[in-house]
Amino acid sequence: MLVELTDFQQELRELARRIAEEKMKPVRAHYDETEEFPWDIVRVYAQSDLYRVYIPEDYEGLGGGVFEMALVTEELSRVCGGIALAFAASALGAYPIILFGSDEQKARYLPDLASGSKLAAFALTEAHAGSDAAGIETTAARDGESYVLNGTKQWITNGGEAETYTVIARTDKTKGARGFSAFIVEKGTDGFGFGKKERKMGIRASATRELVFADCRIPADHRIAREGMGFKVAMETLDRTRPGVAAQAVGIAQGALEAAVQYARQRRQFNSPISSLQAVQQMMAEMAMQIEAARSLVYLTARHIDAGARNPAKYSAMCKALASDVAMKVTTDAVQIFGGYGYMKDYPVEKMMRDAKITQIYEGTNQVQRGVIARQLVKELATASR
Ligand code: COS
């Protein structure tokens, strides 16, 4: 790896790698097959203090930032991109509170998320509001000292398993993107239920469910930030968590490359290991170059954000789109190097290829990311030529 790590980051990386190798590797095929939620691994993450990593020290965290969150996500994903999501999706759910929560909200919710005794989830997407996040139809109507939520959120990672949900809902129909607000909703609140658990192509160890709000009444002090700030809360959260998706993609790709190289050394055809065939060498070298380039951009972006970048949207989108495209290409090539064996469930690379696909889709499709990048380029040019 080209990037220097501090002692803390080095230790964190080694810890995450050890958990992935010792605890996750033996069970990843089981969870992929059964689609059960990996509570035994969640407990290991919690006991190892992994959920504390990105939480501020004032709230029982370790005070790391996006870089440390990404580092852990990458290492866990190197072994299983699905189980790793029980870590990464809780960060996504927690970030609106970390970034915009009041001191009271932070004190109330972050210590439990830091200890891992509770998981978080983030609820933006709806059936008719995917790429067009401003198309949200879930409403939150003010009623005295409460808000009453109505609507359905779709494809929520950690849905049903998490205790703490950060939810974006419309508070004013007339105000476009300024008509949304963000709320904290706790599992068990009357009027808050869950739809069916989705069956997925990949990341099958993760739980994906609908959230259903039917006259769900929550105290007004569960609103995060001012009324009307919900879209900004969502966008600024995603700017800080897309590097996490990118790190997940880098991890999946790294796992696939290592599996492919190991296989290529052992597999003999034409009287020699296939790693000595130029066609295979070209593929392995290409995979390694792409992973290193993607990892570099992820790390630089995470450090840029942690250094206090005011508008990290462009780099966040760049690293997410680049790393997830790399993961799709690398995992596909890993299956190719394994040949017929790669297509079989006896080897891990077909799962890695299935797991990689979602990284091009969620937290904003790569087409949306390219739109974000292009809009920013145009804006920058307009500002420069003023
Ligand atoms: N940070 C802060 N504010 C932002 C922002 C960002 N990254 N991006 C947009 N905003 C603000 C804009 O400045 C604007 O504010 P004002 O009303 O004060 O001017 C407001 O938000 C609306 O912005 P915009 O007009 O650009 O919004 P669009 O409706 O055109 O949507 C995209 C922009 C497409 C980028 C957005 O809808 C998006 O990210 N979609 C993908 C959503 C997604 O990731 N879904 C996955 C589910 S979450 S797991």
Q: Are residues 222 and 238 in the same domain?
A: no
Residue 163 counted as domain residue: yes
Residue 386 counted as domain residue: no
Residue 350: pLDDT band (50, 70, 90) is very high
Q: Are residues 296 and 365 in the same domain?
A: yes
Share above pLDDT 70 across residues of the chain, in percent, rounded to a whole number: 100
What is the pLDDT at residue 9? Answer: 97
- Of 93, 119, 145, the one marking the end of a domain is 119
What is the pLDDT at residue 92? Answer: 98
Protein residue whose Cα sits closest to atom 23 of ligand 1: 177
What is the pLDDT at residue 384? Answer: 86
Residue 203 counted as domain residue: yes
d(CA 359, CA 247): 10
Q: What is the pTM of this model?
A: 0.97
258 is catalytic: no
What is the pLDDT at residue 262? Answer: 98
Q: Are residues 147 and 183 in the same domain?
A: yes
Q: Are residues 151 and 283 in the same domain?
A: no
Residue 188 counted as domain residue: yes
The CATH number of the domain holding residue 308 is: 1.20.140.10
Protein residue whose Cα sits closest to atom 14 of ligand 1: 177
* DSSP-derived 3-state class of residue 137: coil
Q: How far is CA 213 from the centre of its chain?
A: 24
Q: Which of 172, 178, 232, 310 to mutate to test the pocket of ligand 1 (most atoms within 8 A of CB)?
A: 232
| Residue-wise pLDDT tens digits, 224-233 | 999 999 999 9
364 lines ligand 1 (CB under 6 A): yes
Burial grade of 228 (CB within 10 A; 0-12, 13-18, 19 or more): middle
Residue 349: pLDDT band (50, 70, 90) is very high
Residue 2 counted as domain residue: no
Q: Are residues 207 and 266 in the same domain?
A: no
| Residue-wise pLDDT tens digits, 170-223 | 999 999 999 999 999 999 999 999 999 999 999 999 999 999 999 999 999 999
Q: Are residues 235 and 377 in the same domain?
A: yes
The CATH number of the domain holding residue 65 is: 1.10.540.10
> What range defines the domain where residue 146 resides?
121-228
- Of 177, 194, 228, the one marking the end of a domain is 228
Tell me the residue length of the chain. Answer: 386
Protein residue whose Cα sits closest to atom 36 of ligand 1: 133
Please count the structural domains in the chain. Answer: 3
Residue 214 counted as domain residue: yes
Phi, psi (deg, nearest 5) at residue 264: -65, -30
Whether the pLDDT of residue 2 is over 80: the answer is no
Q: Are residues 296 and 354 in the same domain?
A: yes
239 lines ligand 1 (CB under 6 A): yes
Q: Are residues 265 and 373 in the same domain?
A: yes
